[in-house]
Amino acid sequence: MKYLPLDPAIFINNRKRFVKKMLPNSIAVFVSNDEWPGNGDALHSFKQNSDLYWLSGIEQEDTMLILFPDCPDPKYKEVLVLVRPNALKEKWDGKRLRASEASTISGIKEIIWLDSLDAMLQGWIHLADTIYLDTNENDRKASPIRTREYRFVDEMKLSYPLHQFQRAAKIMKELRAIKSKEEIVVVQKAIDITEKTFRRLLKFIQPGVNEYEIEAEIFHSFLSQRATGPAYGSIIASGDNARTLHYVSNNAECKSGDLILMDFGAEYGGYNADLTRTIPVNGKFTPRQKIVYNACLHLHNYAKSILKPGISIVDYTDKVGEEATKQFIKIGLLNKADIKNEDPTNRAYRKYLYHGISHHLGIDVHDLGTRTTPVQAGMLFTIEPGIYIEEEKMGIRIENNFWITKSGSIDLMKNIPITVEEIETLMKKK
């Protein structure tokens, strides 16, 4: 790992939170993600199962975590399972964790090797009444592939058909949505890295630079600050490309007079930042660009003012939609007839703002958390309204990350330049 060691209290406390939700005399088993094959004999870069990482801090493949709080032998109340280090394999693929190293990272004392697990696991499960197994219940899940956790569910149900089975994911969705102070410290580090990178870009961008060169600067800046890398594929969209929400071609030349929308964030210690800024390629907003940008910033600030504990995401989105309607009339995108004749299921403002305003953020960029229950203190959200105008070949989005408090929220990106004046001043200094 490139990042500095995290406080193991993060993972110790996360396990305590999960164990409190378990039924009496139950056992929970979490497995790591698959190693995905590429072409030939290559493997894609390994990415740990985010639930397993949240509970253990271990990024290594072929890892398992077993939680059995009522185990008669106190030594096995929590067990971390690792692949046994192999000298020959390490010559090819690099060093694997030793037991002491894994204990330091996770705070788990009992480490066993994967090749000795089967007999031990069977004994523990025979002592338990209920087995918690994990699956991917992220609302945005779209993959049809039957991944390792689902295959493990099949194996366990076949081997232990008379046990009761429970969904660990139901608990994880509730717990992971609420970030601890220790987790926010790590998120803030990812944000600070992202801020330094954005300030660097304000001095770098000028007419004639290519989108991929900006992407390269982002990657360089992230790695030089110990980030794992980008939290997701950086969106570097100049001119009309900015109207494509997940534009990742990043191959166009940035031209004077155009805006460039940049949606990027660093990953640090498994946690992610998610920033969007839209800036003028030549360092100066045109009068029209300034009007639209300030309308988007107004929506951003309005959303910030109402995203508080107790509001539902549905109500929150509707309220921002109402405010967007007012702003779009003000800047000439909509008129009263458009509003009068709009389809209630597809509001008129949706022509220019066709995505959600916020999503949960954390170990996953689109992190676990319900969209149907009220917002709670401790949740971490993006706020990212946008305005996309086909007729003007213009797309603007502004995004910051907010930690919800009992009375409102804390803008974790408050130090990142956001106003027209701040951006123009910094770009002029280059």
Q: Is residue 276 part of a domain?
A: yes
Range 355-359 average pLDDT: 97
Residue 412 lies in a domain: yes
pLDDT tens, residue by residue, 104-135: 999 999 999 999 999 899 999 999 999 999 99
Model confidence at 291, in pLDDT bands (50, 70, 90)? Answer: very high
Candidates 253, 243, 254, 263; CA nearest to 282 is 254
Same domain, 164 and 262: no
CATH code for the domain in which residue 416 is found: 3.90.230.10
Among the candidates 149, 176, 203, a domain finishes at 176
d(CA 67, CA 327): 52
- Summarize pLDDT for 310-327 with one digit per residue, the tens: 999 999 999 999 999 999
Q: What is the 3-state secondary structure (H, E, C) of the chain?
A: CCCCCCCCHHHHHHHHHHHHHCCCCEEEEEECCCCCECCCCCECCCCCCHHHHHHHCCCCCCCEEEECCCCCCHHHCEEEEECCCCHHHHHHHCCCCCHHHHHHHHCCCEEEEHHHHHHHHHHHHHHCCEEEECCCCCCCCCCCCCCHHHHHHHHHHHHCCCCEEEEHHHHHHHHHCECCHHHHHHHHHHHHHHHHHHHHHHHHCCCCCEHHHHHHHHHHHHHHCCCCEECCCCEEEEHHHHHCCCCCCCCCECCCCCEEEEEECEEECCEECCEEEEEECCCCCCHHHHHHHHHHHHHHHHHHHHCCCCCCHHHHHHHHHHHHHHHHHHCCCCCHHHHHCCECCECHHHHCCCCCCCCECCCCCCCCCCCCCCCCCCEEEEECCEEEEHHHCEEEECEEEEEECCCCEEECCCCCCCCHHHHHHHHHHC
Whether the per-residue pLDDT at 392 is higher than 90: the answer is yes
Express each pLDDT in 248-268 by its tens digit: 999 999 999 999 999 999 999
The reported pLDDT for the residue numbered 145 is 86
How high does pLDDT run on average in the chain?
96
Confidence band for 399, pLDDT divided at 50, 70 and 90? very high
- Domain end (from 144, 176, 208): 176
pLDDT of residue 93 exceeding 90:
no
1 domain residue, yes or no = no
Comparing C-alpha atoms, which of 419, 172, 407 is closest to residue 309? 407
- The answer to whether residue 427 scores a pLDDT higher than 70 is yes
pLDDT higher than threshold 70 for residue 49:
yes
Residue 430 has pLDDT above 70, yes or no: no
* 385 in a structural domain: yes
Specify the amino acid at residue 339: I
Residue 41 has pLDDT above 90, yes or no: no
- The 10s digit of each residue's pLDDT in 178-227 is 999 999 999 999 999 999 999 999 999 999 999 999 999 999 999 999 99
Higher pLDDT, 372 or 114: 114
Residue 231, pLDDT > 80, answer yes
Residue 2 in domain: no
186, 90: one domain: no
Q: Tell me the per-residue pLDDT of 128-163, one tens digit each, with 9 for 90 and over.
A: 999 999 999 887 777 888 999 999 999 999 999 999
pLDDT of res. 277: 98
In a domain, 249, yes or no: yes
Task: For tokens 């399972």, name the residue.
Answer: 81
The one-letter amino acid code at 273 reads: A
CATH number at residue 95: 3.40.350.10
Q: Are 140 and 197 found together in one domain?
A: no
Mean of pLDDT values over 393-411? 97
Does residue 424 register a pLDDT over 70? yes
Q: Does residue 231 sit in the same domain as residue 149?
A: no
Residue 1: which pLDDT band, with cuts at 50, 70 and 90?
confident
State how many domains the chain has: 2
Asked whether the predicted pLDDT for residue 237 surpasses 80, the reply is yes
Report residue 371's pLDDT band, with 50, 70 and 90 as the boundaries: confident
What is the residue range of 245's domain? 181-429
Q: What is the pLDDT of residue 42?
A: 86
Same domain, yes or no: 126 and 268: no
